[in-house]
Amino acid sequence: MHQSANLILNGKSAPIESMGLVTLDGNQAKPSYQLYRLYFRLAVAR
């Protein structure tokens, strides 16, 4: 089963989108790769 981990970035998306870490859909960002998805999940949990 594939789990989606969308982030709400509130206007701070340009730097991480330009680095290819996420793809944007409105104000939500979807991590580009599983490694980034895991990192963001851990970073947000702190």
Mean pLDDT by 10 residues, the chain (46 residues): 54 78 82 87 82
pTM of the model: 0.56
**By residue range, what is the domain housing residue 32?**
7-45
pLDDT score recorded for residue 2: 42
pLDDT score recorded for residue 6: 62
Query: Is residue 2 in a domain?
Result: no
Query: Is residue 1 in a domain?
Result: no
Tokens 């206007």 found at:
11
pLDDT score recorded for residue 4: 52
CB 27 within 8 A of CB 8: yes
